[in-house]
C-alpha cells in the first residue's frame, strides 16, 4: 500500500488554508498604506480577509455569491466588514466588487503577489515536516490555484538554497464534475482553461469557473508529471463521515474530494507500493454551517 498523509489546513486561525496568503497580503497592505482591502470570494477567503483586516485596523469589503452559506455572511459582519452579494458565481461577485470603485486595494486571487508568497509556506512547512524529503505525490483540491503556484515556487527556491534535491512531488489537482475547467483543459492538452459555463456544485471552495492563474497551475502540474482529475461530489458526504468515524478527523468537502481522487487513482494503479501521498484538507467543515 501507500503511505497516506493528510495536511489539515483547517487548523489555521479562520479555519482554512486561505490564512496562509491573506495574513501576509493584509499585513503588506497595511505597511504600504492601503485605505482598505477587498476581494471577491466563494467563502473561505472572505473569512480570512475580514479577520486579518480587523486585526490590522483596516476597513474591509467582500463580495460573495448570494447562495454562500449564511455563516460566512454572519462572520464577515461580526468582523465589521462591508458585505456585497450577487446572484451567480464568483465571476459575478468579482464584477460587483469592481463596480464599487477601486479606492480599496483588491486582494483577490493573483491580483497581487503576496498571497502566492504566503501560500509558499505550505510547501516550505511540508518539506521541513518530512525532513527535507518531499513526498511522491501531492493531491490538492483546486479552486483559484494559488496554493499549487505557491508550493511550486517554494520547492524551486528550496532547491536553489540547497535544502532539497531535484526530486519533486507529482501534483494532482482535483475538481468536481460540476465545475472542472482546469481538468478539461488538462485533458485537452490546452495551456489555458475556458470558463466553465453554469457551474453546478455545492462545494463552494471548488466553484471557480475561471481561475486567473490557470496557465500557471497547468504548467506546474505538467512539469511535475502529475495530472488533473474530477470526482463526483455525490461521494463526498459519505467519505467525510467515514473519515470522521474511523480516523477522528473532520474534513470539509474539498478535502473529501481530494481523498476521493486518491481512491480513484489507487484503483487505477497510479501509485507504486510505499509511495508517500499527501492530501491537502483545505478547510473546516464548520465553515459550511
Q: What is the pLDDT of residue 288?
A: 78
pLDDT, tens digit, 9 for 90 and up, residues 187-204: 999 999 999 998 999 998
The domains spanning 3-12+113-288 and 18-106 adopt the same CATH topology: yes
Q: How far apart are CA 124 and CA 103, in angstroms?
A: 34
Q: What is the pLDDT of residue 40?
A: 93
* Of the candidates 223, 225, 257, the residue with the CA atom closest to the CA atom of residue 239: 257
**For the chain, which residues score pLDDT lower than 70?**
101-102, 289
pLDDT, tens digit, 9 for 90 and up, residues 48-83: 999 999 999 999 999 999 999 899 999 999 999 999
Q: How far apart are CA 76 and CA 49, in angstroms?
A: 9
Reduced to 3 DSSP states, what percent helix, strand and coil does the chain have, rounded to the nearest 5? Answer: 45, 15, 35
Topology of domain 3-12+113-288, CATH: Rossmann fold (3.40.50)
Place of cell 470522521: 244
CATH code given to domain 18-106:
3.40.50.1100
The pTM (predicted TM-score) of the whole model is: 0.94
Domain ranges of the chain: 3-12+113-288, 18-106
Place of cell 501576509: 24
Q: How far apart are CA 80 and CA 75, in angstroms?
A: 9
Amino acid at each position: 500500500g501507500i503511505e497516506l498523509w493528510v495536511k489539515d489546513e483547517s487548523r489555521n486561525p479562520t479555519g482554512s488554508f486561505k490564512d496562509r496568503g491573506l495574513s501576509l497580503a493584509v499585513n503588506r497592505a497595511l505597511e504600504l498604506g492601503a485605505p482598505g482591502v477587498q476581494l471577491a470570494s466563494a467563502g473561505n477567503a472572505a473569512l480570512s480577509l475580514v479577520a486579518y483586516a480587523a486585526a490590522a485596523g483596516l476597513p474591509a469589503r467582500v463580495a460573495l455569491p448570494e447562495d454562500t452559506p449564511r455563516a460566512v455572511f454572519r462572520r464577515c459582519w461580526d468582523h465589521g466588514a462591508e458585505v456585497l452579494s450577487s446572484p451567480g458565481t464568483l465571476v459575478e461577485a468579482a464584477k460587483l466588487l469592481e463596480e464599487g470603485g477601486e479606492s480599496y486595494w483588491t486582494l483577490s486571487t493573483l491580483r497581487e503577489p503576496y498571497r502566492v508568497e504566503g501560500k509558499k509556506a505550505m510547501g516550505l512547512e511540508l518539506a521541513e515536516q518530512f525532513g527535507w524529503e518531499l513526498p511522491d505525490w501531492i493531491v490538492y483540491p483546486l479552486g483559484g490555484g494559488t496554493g499549487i503556484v505557491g508550493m511550486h515556487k517554494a520547492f524551486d527556491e528550496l532547491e536553489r538554497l540547497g535544502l532539497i534535491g531535484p526530486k519533486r512531488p507529482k501534483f494532482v489537482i482535483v475538481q468536481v464534475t460540476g465545475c472542472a475547467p482546469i481538468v478539461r483543459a488538462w485533458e485537452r492538452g490546452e495551456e489555458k482553461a475556458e470558463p466553465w459555463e453554469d457551474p453546478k456544485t455545492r462545494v463552494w471552495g471548488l466553484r471557480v469557473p475561471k481561475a486567473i492563474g490557470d496557465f500557471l497551475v497547468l504548467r506546474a502540474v505538467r512539469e511535475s508529471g502529475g495530472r488533473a482529475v474530477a470526482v463526483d461530489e455525490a461521494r463526498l458526504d459519505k467519505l467525510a463521515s467515514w473519515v470522521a468515524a474511523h480516523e477522528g478527523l473532520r474534513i470539509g468537502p474539498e478535502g473529501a474530494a481530494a481523498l476521493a481522487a486518491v481512491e480513484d487513482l489507487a484503483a487505477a494503479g497510479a501509485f507504486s507500493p510505499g509511495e508517500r501521498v499527501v492530501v491537502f484538507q483545505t478547510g473546516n467543515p464548520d465553515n459550511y454551517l
